Amino acid sequence: MNSDAQLELDNITVGRGEIRLIEAISFTVKAGDAIQILGENGSGKSSLLSIIAGVLTPIEGRINWRGAIGDENHQCNRESCIFVGHDTPNRPALSVRENLAYWARIYAKKADRVAGVIEQAGLKRAANQPSGQLSAGQKRRLELARCLLAGRQVWLLDEPTTSLDSSGHDLWSEQVRIHQEKGGMSIIATHKLLNIQSRDLRLA
């Protein structure tokens, strides 16, 4: 991963319709950093992550992504970030293994990585189960497997441990820590803090 990578939010204002949810927020995330964003439902956490991912546009402000020296654009591009939201993009009729094989092709990764990420995410027993039949907690583990498979530097995680038991929460914490140690960057919207080294930002 690029040790010079840097993501800068400069006076970002987030809104929904006529309602301004977050006013002029600024922060910088560097390689190895993690920020955990806390706030009540409707406080704008998910919208902020969507803006960083380039899915939504801020009312005001700008985002600068520097993935390499001299490389700057206004969002975290597809080659640099992965977004885990509330709606899983997996195909319900395909098994866990088949879904990850599909994502391996999308991310241009070797198919032989699939077995390893299944094990890392604690999904070995469910590997051949259709993803549409997974429990809510297993679906969150499948999203973890997708993050591990993608190998992107920036993880944008919206409530990644929702529906997970304590072991699942610990697993996400461990994998985010490993991601940080490799120079990865994580921005996490959550109601329950992961057990990681991070800056914590509470929205009003």
Amino acid at 3: S
Longest dimension (CA), the chain: 48
Cα separation, 191 vs 189, in Å, equals 7
> Which helix or strand (DSSP H or E) is residue 10 part of?
strand 6-16
Could you write out the DSSP letters of every residue in 11-49?
Answer: EEEEEETTEEEEEEEEEEEETT-EEEEE--TTSSHHHHH
DSSP 110: -
Answer whether 0.75 is exceeded by the pTM: yes
Q: Which CATH architecture has domain 1-78+153-161+183-204?
A: 3-Layer(aba) Sandwich (3.40)
The C-alpha atoms of residue 56 and residue 47 are separated, in whole angstroms, by 7
Q: Domain map of the chain by residue range? A: 1-78+153-161+183-204, 81-151
| Neighbouring-strand partners of residue 71 | 68
From first to last of its 204 residues, what are the pLDDT tens digits of the chain? Answer: 888 889 999 999 999 888 899 999 999 999 999 999 998 888 899 999 999 988 889 999 998 888 654 455 545 666 788 999 877 788 999 999 999 999 999 988 988 999 999 999 999 999 999 999 999 999 999 999 999 999 999 999 999 998 899 999 999 999 999 999 999 999 999 988 999 999 999 987
